[in-house]
Amino acid sequence: MTPKSIQAKVNNGKIEFNSNTGSEMWLELNEGQDVEIKKISNTRTTRQNNALHLWFELVAQEMEEAGCDLRSTIKTEITPTAYMVKELMWKPIQEKLTGKKSTSELNTDEIDKIYKIMDEAMARSLKISVPFPSEPDERF
């Protein structure tokens, strides 16, 4: 089986292909075709990941001890996204109400309860109410 991509390095202005990646076969099969070259950045190490999440925790603890409220800390406009609505609005209610972390674990009654709580809160504070969809949507 031919790989969809191959790895190489740029050295002195020339591309050097990594050995044992099927690069010759890949080049032959793609002769005359347009190809895309992307720079691959190193991902964070496990140690960096652990340190990053520890730092998040330490910052949060420090802010809480200092009596900070994020509403007064974030001074820029943030455009809402579906991801933010789910993670920052829905899930905190969900976890408090059901103890469940994933929306895939919810039953229909729990979804109805969480929706009602969220809709009432949005009506009060944001002056908006979004009906829960009852018809399937081709986007989802």
pLDDT of 138 over the 70 cut:
no
pLDDT of 48 over the 70 cut:
no
Q: How many whole angstroms separate alpha carbon 103 and alpha carbon 115?
A: 12
pLDDT tens-digit series, residues 65-77: 777 666 666 777 7
Mean pLDDT in the chain? Answer: 80
Q: How confident is the model at residue 113 (pLDDT cuts 50, 70, 90)?
A: very high
Where exactly are the structural domains of the chain?
1-41, 42-75, 77-132
> Contact at 8 Å (CB) between 26 and 3?
yes
